[in-house]
Amino acid sequence: MRSSLMASQEIAQDKDPDRATVVVHAPLDALSGGDRGCAIERGPVIHPEVAARLSCDARLQVVLHDRKGDPLGIGWAGRNPPPWLMRALRHRDERCTFPGCDLRRFTHAHHITKWPLGPTTLRNLVLVCPFHHKLVHEHHWRVELSKAGAATWFRPNGRRFDPSAARLQGRLDRAPPSARVRYPTPTHSTPKRVHQGHLRRIP
C-alpha cells in the first residue's frame, strides 16, 4: 500500500507521465557489488552491471528487495541529475571524459560511485558517451575524479589508461608498407653469357 502511494505521488508530480518507464526489481546488494541477479518487471533476468548502468542515467524505477524478497521501497528521484546540475556538469566536462573521445551530444551523467550508494552530486558525476558508459558498467573500466575535476581512466586490470601510448601503438599498427623494413629477396638467375669482345686479356 505504501509503495503504491509513493508511486502515485511520483506520477502526479511527473512532468512527463507518458514517457516510457522501465521497472527493475533488484536485491539491495546487487547494486552495491553483489552477484545476485536483477529482473525487469514481466521480463528477463539481467546482470547486476546492466541494472547499474540502467539506473545510472535513465528513466528507471527501481524496486529494492531484501534477502527474503520483500520490497523495501521504490527509488526514482535522487538518481537523475536535475537540470541545474546537468548544466554544471556540462560546463565542467564539456564532452565525454574518456581520453580522445570528442562526443559532446547524447552524453550521460555517470555515477563514479554507483547509485544508490553514491550521491547524485557534481563530485560523483562525469560525462560519458553511450559507448564509454557501457565500457564502464559491462567491461569493468573505472574512472576517478581529481579535486580539480579532471577525470582519470583505468583499464580493467587496474592500470591507468595512457592515451599517448595508445595513440603511438595505433600509429605503429597502421604504418604503411613503405615505412616498414624491407629485406632484398635473393635471386638465383642464370648468369648471362659474356661476348668474347668484352673480355680483356690480362698479361
pLDDT digits (tens, 9 = 90+) for 59-77: 556 566 667 766 655 554 4
Q: Which of 29-33, 107-111, 140-144 has the weakest average pLDDT?
A: 29-33
Is there a contact between 57 and 143 (Cβ–Cβ < 8 Å)? no
Does 54 lie in the same domain as 24?
A: yes
**Phi and psi angles of residue 189, each rounded to the nearest 5 degrees, phi first:** -75, 155
Together in a domain, 40 and 92? no
Please check whether residues 94 and 148 belong to one and the same domain: yes
Residue 28 lies in a domain: yes
- Cell output for 27: 536485491
Q: Are residues 87 and 147 in the same domain?
A: yes
Do residue 57 and residue 111 come from a single domain? no
- Which residues are within 8 A (CB) of 121 and not within 5 positions of it... i.e. 6 or more apart? 85
Most confident of the following: 1-10, 52-61, 152-161: 152-161
Last residue of a domain, one of 132, 154, 176: 154
Rounded distance, CA 140 to CA 37, Å?
A: 17
Question: How many other CB atoms sit within 10 Å of the CB of residue 99?
Answer: 15
pLDDT tens-digit map of 149-190: 899 999 999 999 987 765 544 444 444 555 444 545 555 555
CA angle 99, 30, 6 (to 5 degrees): 105
Residue 100 lies in a domain: yes
Do 17 and 35 share a domain, yes or no? yes
The whole-angstrom separation of Cα 201 and Cα 40 is 98
Distance separating alpha carbons of residues 171 and 79, to the nearest angstrom: 41
Number of domains in the chain: 2
Determine, yes or no, domain membership for 188.
no
115 assigned to some structural domain: yes
Same domain, 68 and 113: no
- Say whether both 87 and 142 belong to one domain: yes
The pLDDT, as a whole number, for residue 113 is 87
**Same-domain check for residues 149 and 98:** yes
Same domain, 119 and 148: yes
Among the ranges given (43-52, 118-127, 156-165, 191-200), the one the predictor scored with the smallest mean pLDDT: 191-200
User: Which range marks the domain in which residue 115 is found?
Assistant: 83-154
In a domain, 123, yes or no: yes
Nearest to 127, CA basis, from 146, 101, 148: 101
The answer as to whether 102 is a domain residue is: yes
